[in-house]
Chains A and B, each alone.
Chain A
Amino acid sequence: MAKLKIRENYHQARWDEPIIYELSTPGERGILVPEPEPEIKNKAGDVLLNLPESMCRKEEPNLPEISQKQVLAHYLHLSQETLGSNLNNDISQGTCTMKYNPRINEKLAGLIHHVHPLQDESTMQGLLAINYKFEHFLKEISGMDKFTLQPGGGSHAVYTAASIIRAYHESNGELEQRDEIITTIFSHPCDAATPATAGFKVVTLYPNEETGIPDLEALEEAVSERTAAVFITNPEDTGIYNREIDKFVQTVQNAGALCFYDQANANGMLGITRAREAGFDMCHFNVHKTFGTPHGCSGPGSGALGVREHLVRFLPVPTVEFDGEKYYLDYDKPESIGKVRGFFGVAPVTLKAYSWVMMLGAEGLKEVAEISVLNNNYLQKKVEEIPGVGTWYAEGRRRLEQVRYNWIELEEETGVGTDDIMRRIGDYGIQHYWTSHHPWVVPEPFTLEPCETYSKVDLEEYAAVLKKIAEEARKDSEFVKASPHKCASHNIAKPEELNDPEKWAITWRAYLRKHKK
């Protein structure tokens, strides 16, 4: 049996790394560029002579000049000062579905490095097949009729959904009347922000203080002939499943509006319950979360958006189709919303996700869901045993794949709040946890999501570290508040400067101008 270990002697790499400009020595080169052959140069002559002066760069760009080894070392240092989820017990980033990102899938994605997206379709039948088959997997998992893989992330897919809803009501001549989209406060911020970007007013439902989810009555009151759609997550970021979700959907659809299911929290549901059974018109998956592809410091990701038959005609172009003999890209959609990103999707992410599903199959996907839910309940038991931790709402009801906890009691007792503990946990070799999206609603929140790729010992280590920090808070609250102590960097001295136009510095040149006069 693996041994439970709290990494008390952990210390993250701290390279005291200069900013890249501070490594520059005039004349050094990091890489040489292939020169054109003499015949080309001779024939072309001075190509810049023909340019009008206003279009010529007069001074060379102020880029650093550094030899290759020094560039490589610099970025290796920076990588060591970054705690990727494959390196650590990243149960921390709840709502983000941080699971193992298999190495083999990275290798396989390298097979399409050199594919140009406009190549003749006959030369990328395999690649298109992978897109088409992955779309089929998503249809099976959700019950939707058709997917687009074009959006580059979850919020982007939700934005695409809002655009399709606009096109749908416009085609029915009801867009002017239906200018409201309803969401819930525990749905991701994009469920409010993307409808607003697409031109809708946003109505937000708040949870019933007991159940943790909005009452059906509250929804009924909010829905009207002005409602274009509802954007909802289930379970929301609290991990509580809304048992009346189908009634929510019916209420909205009875009013002539559409229902979009934000499935960012799908990890505990694969093969268990689907958007279709609950009656949704559309849903999306964060491919880079649920389907095991890496988050890349925040992208490239992929947002797969699925719709029912009545919305297929509005999907962005092109879609990937199969005519029985060959795969092809279909641009023939006169009512399409157009495009939300170049070409036909984030192909490497699609390929990695396809590979991930292929290694699991239907039974394996269900195992993913079951173990993620089991892990979560096991961790919850351990975490709730820690004095000072609370869990709001729905007492006695089990959470699915994640839980929003709180440190209200500990904060009252010690003055150490969730942000302090968030920083301190980094000192034990664990990524800082996710508190909550804004606004918090639950005070002093933290949200944990122990995906299927964490072991029993990982779960126990995580709870033990939280317990230890809570003890530290009681013994020496200032020590915890001053954390982190063993991470790559310390607390910021003057956080207010990041909001001060006179002080903020988004580039090195701005920093030199404002701070090093």
Chain B
Amino acid sequence: MDKIVYPYIPNSVPEIKKQMLEELGLKDVEEIYAEIPDHLRFKGEMDLPEPLLSEYELERHVEGLLAKDKDCKEYINFLGGGTWQHYVPEVCDTINSRDEFLTAYVGAAYADHGKFQAMFEFTSMLGELLDFDVVSTPTYDWGMAAGFAIRMAARITGRNEVLIPKTIAPDRYLCIENVCKPIIKIKLIDYNKESGLLDLEDLKDNISDKTAAIYFENPSYLGFIETQGEEISRIVHENNAISIVGVDPSSLGVLAPPSHYGADIACGELQPLGMHMNAGGGLAGFIASRDEEKYVAEYPTQLWGITETIKEGEYGFGDVSFERTSYASRENAKDFLGTQAALWGITAGVYLALMGPKGMQELGEGIMQRVNYAQHILGKIPGVKVPTLNSINFKEFIVNFDDTDKDVSDINRNLLEYGIFGGKDLSKEFPELGNSALYCITEIHTKSDIDKLADILKKVLA
């Protein structure tokens, strides 16, 4: 067989390769690789599958691999817990799949002016949603954003303890714990078993002049809205510590932004704002705060600012306070940055521009109405306890099955047979909640979806 000419490798054309080698006075590329000592050369054969050289074969192969998988288009999905199913407007996909944005990287703001402006508009719109003047370029995900925010607070206060409610998502906690580990001690604060809300007495007992910050979330991992935000921030500020709130921005059309109940730093997850779930690949975190120098100085991410160019009336963009970052200052920087999740920030901007104030309001209200309805309907099923907490919930809520004779894992297996992904099993993460699952409902759920869930649950629990 002739030598393969690869479609992505123009100079694999033998004649061209030969011409290039000749021009360099070489017979073989091996003469360049002579730079690598022989004993460091890999002599074996990589055990890789035979290539699928044509695009068609590749497509058949990948489609074949995924053919038996199911997704949340095919099944009705009630899973949330860190990635949530929302409607993604087509324009979001149109914009983020354009090669201009999709394949750009670290180009400066002259030829990549549009990238800078799109990102600036994203931070501007998220800033309005949060009522904060400073918003980071996106970081990896909510967990890393929270970890970075806590480290910012430790540097600002010169203290080394953080208080976190025990209701935090266990997976997010693992991430925060690793980020905090070398310098910050985490103290977990109890919660009220009736309401899920933070136990203010335990907070007062644990807060001290070592406390850099409290970090709590709204809505919480378990779905309830932490309604004591003002009181928590007041206690924290009395102790000269920083109030950090992790927030799901899809709630902010109807819920007060953290800055209105005393948060000094907000952080959270962008995935609900126009990103597909992507099996967890849609995550992108953000950090935001007031525009105070001592806060801005501690951000680890890039911050892009607007300014003017030499051409009158033309906006220009650039890095704000670049020396903070590890690109400028290596180990002396504020933590580190790198390739994170910029495209999802641009996409979140497109989403917010499409939704506008009314869209975000209707989104939030419609979700809460559906959740209210679902809790009502599901609570009527014999053996099913919902609500379990005396709380107000946003898009997630706990469903308890203690009074049935089935485990959550069995129930979910049964639901699967009917084309339903049941809620996330909480029985290992929160044993004190018993045989419970975390259900998620958003604007994508119709009445018939919710009614079907109730009908099938009745059937499998009967």
Contact = CB atoms under 8 A, between A and B. Distances in A.
A469 interface: no
Interface residues of B, number: 211
A100 to B, nearest CB: 5
A365 interface: yes
Contacts of A494: 307-308
Most buried by B among A196, A296, A495, A510: A296
Given A82-B115, A126-B68, A202-B331, 10 more contacts: A60-B361, A62-B128, A83-B100, A86-B103, A115-B277, A296-B342, A300-B281, A300-B341, A348-B281, A426-B110
B85 A116 contact: yes
A493 B307 contact: yes
B72 A342 contact: no
B339 A192 contact: no
A438 B326 CA distance: 9
A117 B271 CA distance: 13
Interface stretch (A304-312, A451-459, A470-478): A451-459
A342 B175 contact: yes
Interface string B87-109: 11101001111111111111111
Contacts of B52: 358-359
Interface string B20-54: 11011010010011111101111001111111110
A114 to B, nearest CB: 4
A206 interface: no
Interface stretch (A250-258, A272-280, A403-411): A272-280
Contacts of B132: 507
The 8 closest A-B pairs by CB, nearest first: A155-B338, A199-B182, A361-B51, A343-B280, A81-B114, A193-B326, A30-B354, A117-B280
Contacts of A9: none
Nearest to A277: B40
Given A193-B331, A339-B178, A364-B4, A297 B104 contact: yes
A339 B288 CA distance: 23
Contacts of B340: 152-153, 156, 298-301
Contact of A300 (B55, B77, B343): B343
Contacts of A504: 296, 305, 320-321
A484 B309 CA distance: 11
A344 B280 contact: yes
Interface string A72-100: 10111111111111110000110010111
A497 B9 contact: no
Contacts of B208: none
A297 B119 contact: yes
Interface stretch (B159-167, B368-376, B453-461): B368-376
Given A29-B356, A93-B107, A456-B16, A492 B307 contact: yes
B410 to A, nearest CB: 12
B104 A104 contact: no
A469 to B, nearest CB: 14
B294 to A, nearest CB: 10
B234 to A, nearest CB: 11
A58 interface: yes
B47 to A, nearest CB: 5
B260 A54 contact: yes
Interface residues of A, number: 213
Contacts of B4: 363-364, 367
A93 B104 CA distance: 10
A10 to B, nearest CB: 11
A265 interface: no
B355 A63 contact: yes
B16 A86 contact: no
Of B109, B177, B330, B444, the most chain A CB neighbours within 10 A belong to B330
Interface in B146-183: 151, 171-172, 174-175, 177-179, 181-183
B418 interface: no
Contacts of A34: 87, 366, 443-444, 446
A505 B307 contact: yes
Given A202-B330, A297-B115, A371-B12, A117 B277 contact: yes
A194 B327 CA distance: 11
A339 B174 CA distance: 5
B385 interface: no
Contacts of A452: 8-9, 11-12
Given A116-B85, A119-B79, A104 B55 contact: yes
B11 A79 contact: no
- Give the interface centre of B59, B343, B354, B361 by most chain A CB atoms within 10 Å: B354
A16 B425 CA distance: 52
Contact of A56 (B83, B254, B315): B254
A509 to B, nearest CB: 6
25 contacts: A20-B349, A21-B124, A48-B368, A62-B128, A63-B125, A71-B91, A72-B95, A79-B95, A79-B100, A96-B105, A119-B79, A123-B421, A124-B70, A136-B47, A156-B144, A296-B96, A338-B174, A354-B62, A358-B51, A358-B58, A363-B51, A374-B21, A377-B32, A426-B108, A487-B110
